Chain A
Amino acid sequence: MMTGMERLVAAIDGTPADRIPVFCNLLDQGAKELGLPLEEYYSSGEHVAEAQLKMRAKYGYDCLWSLFYVGKEAELLGCRKIIFAKDGPPNVGEMVIKKYDDIARLQVPDDITSHPAFAEELKCLRILKAEAGGKYPICAYLTASMTMPAILMGMEKWLQMLMMGPNDLRDELLTKCSDFFQKQVAAYRAAGADVLVYSNPFGSTDVIPRTFFNELSLPWMVRDLTPGGTSGIVYYCGSARFNNVIRSVIEHLGIGVFYLSPMDDIAEGKQLVAGRGLTCGVINDIMLLEWSKEEIRAEVKRMIAAGKQGGKFLFGTLVMPYNIPEENIRTMLEAAYEYGSFECP
């Protein structure tokens, strides 16, 4: 049997494997696994690492996550209030930027790794590395400079500033967020993360018009990624569609892994990537709350049939909702292992 890492490498290189890699993004479910309330669960890197290892072993998929929740990044920039739900992801509960003056005051920590908000994640990463390093890819989640302000000032105010200015403040904030990104990605690489999910809904023309993508999104992504390079970087637009920018992303950024939207046409995406990288077909996991066993199998089959031919393909989920029944998770995974297998390994 191959390990998850061997499958991922085979998929990237286009070499033979027993099956396609399968990424199942279970985050909040870890609390259920350990029988803990979410807030207590997320207070400790040991908990998260233990649950990540347990869930991977139990279900047999190919990835591990060091991400707790996206709001953690706002904590690194000064947010002190996170709102915990009992059956869903934690959310930022305080805006670090309440008024424009706060932008000048925003401070990017010199050394992210010594910041208290990073300590538990670092602990988690160390345990994952020690227990499964090299065998199962460890994924980290990083918010792009252009998306970061959404959790610092709210999506509403940020979109307003992006579209209507003032542009000098917008650029000051973007510069700080981009500096933060550069430090963060370096810290995760140093701590041993293998897969770096670069999350940027503003890299999708579902969110911004094409001209804006060319004139602003692309240059800021170039700035984010230039010092560290694109090794391990995954292009992801928060589940917004991006097939129509794949060519530009390859040409201008050199990213080689594409985590599509469930609404993107998988076959088309793969055609656009054209052997230059790994295409990830992503299931609309919100439907796993409702679909029957037959419906789940049929959807997994359809998706894999659209992407598997010729390899360089991965099957994945979004941020799996907390209440998806365990049986449905298993049904999806079993179908993915079955339809995703290659006859001659």
Chain B
Amino acid sequence: MLKQVMSQYNEAIMDTDRDRALQIVHVAVDLGISPEEIVFNVVVPAIELMMQSISENQGISLAQHFMAAQIASEVVDEMVPLFAKAPEIVGTVVIGTSQGDFHGLGKRIVSGCLKAMMVEVIDLGLNVAPERFIDEALARNAQVIAISSMMVHTATGENGCRRVRKLLKERDLEDRIRIAVGGAPYRFDPDLFKSVGADGWAENGVTAGRVITDLIREVRR
């Protein structure tokens, strides 16, 4: 039965049909599938399947990413309080857009996927100053600072990732905190993340989940 739920849920996600996806989940819970199984055996695999389709180049549109993240985040919000015991958190991420950048969609998609993967996400919002990224990461004990930028000048500017890197170095925090970046400029120039001093980047929200959890594990090792 779980298999059937999985395939129906996947189909609803690909069709960007939120109401159907939520209905499938609710019916499944009524039929006795546990909230843990819903999250770990339905929602997370759906995100992973999407990741696989992308790497196989079967065009997944932005709208599908958005809906997958949106629905995943809604289901997780609903299911986690019903877990038999509180889930183990993989780690903590502070996320925001770089200074001067007011484009929040990428960040929202990334956050939704991270949440489904049991990463605690602290959203610092738009136009975040480099100092604030560091201060909040320290205050929240985050392993990763995630910075989203839609334009070249906000990705490469002196008050973006470059400055966050510099501050980490100056304060001797590089062992404790990793930087992940993403957004359009990084997709047009796949090496750009290195020149701004980031530890990793991802092309889309679902792969961001994997890249960021890997960075968290690096720090936690």
A-B contact count (CB 8 A): 85
The reply to whether the CB of B185 lies closer than 8 angstroms to some CB of chain A is yes
The reply to whether the CB of A91 lies closer than 8 angstroms to some CB of chain B is yes
Distance from B177 Cβ to chain A, minimum over Cβ atoms (Å):
27
Set A83, A206, A209: member contacting B16, Cβ < 8 A: A209
The reply to whether the CB of B197 lies closer than 8 angstroms to some CB of chain A is no
Q: How many residues on chain B are close to A (CB under 8 Å)?
A: 30
B18: A residues at CB distance < 8 A: 163-164
A93: B residues at CB distance < 8 A: 102
B143: A residues at CB distance < 8 A: none
Stretch at the interface among A18-26, A185-193, A286-294: A286-294
B64: A residues at CB distance < 8 A: 209
A83: B residues at CB distance < 8 A: 100, 102
The reply to whether the CB of A16 lies closer than 8 angstroms to some CB of chain B is no
Stretch at the interface among A154-162, A271-279, A297-305, A307-315: A154-162
Q: Are B104 and A206 in contact (CB under 8 A)?
A: no
- Cα-based distance from A340 to B189 in the complex (angstroms): 25
The reply to whether the CB of B66 lies closer than 8 angstroms to some CB of chain A is yes
Q: Are A85 and B185 in contact (CB under 8 A)?
A: no
Q: Are B152 and A289 in contact (CB under 8 A)?
A: yes
Set B59, B100, B188: member contacting A205, Cβ < 8 A: B59
- Cα-based distance from A244 to B14 in the complex (angstroms): 19
- Cα-based distance from A159 to B104 in the complex (angstroms): 12
The reply to whether the CB of B172 lies closer than 8 angstroms to some CB of chain A is no
- Cα-based distance from A212 to B62 in the complex (angstroms): 12
Set B62, B189, B192, B195: member contacting A207, Cβ < 8 A: B62
- Cα-based distance from A244 to B188 in the complex (angstroms): 20
The reply to whether the CB of B162 lies closer than 8 angstroms to some CB of chain A is no
Chain B 3-28: CB-based contact to A (< 8 A → 1; otherwise 0): 00000000000111010000000000
Chain B 144-173: CB-based contact to A (< 8 A → 1; otherwise 0): 000000011110110000000000000000
B108: A residues at CB distance < 8 A: 156
The reply to whether the CB of A323 lies closer than 8 angstroms to some CB of chain B is yes
Distance from A283 Cβ to chain B, minimum over Cβ atoms (Å):
11
A316: B residues at CB distance < 8 A: none
CB-nearest residue of chain A to B67? A163
Set A85, A209, A212, A290: member contacting B153, Cβ < 8 A: A85
Q: Are A155 and B189 in contact (CB under 8 A)?
A: no
Q: Which residues of A contact B (CB under 8 A)?
A: 83, 85, 87-89, 91-93, 154-156, 159-160, 162-164, 205-209, 212, 244, 262, 284, 286-287, 289-290, 321-323
9 A-B residue pairings within 8 Å (CB atoms) = A83-B102, A88-B100, A159-B62, A160-B70, A209-B61, A209-B64, A212-B63, A286-B189, A321-B153
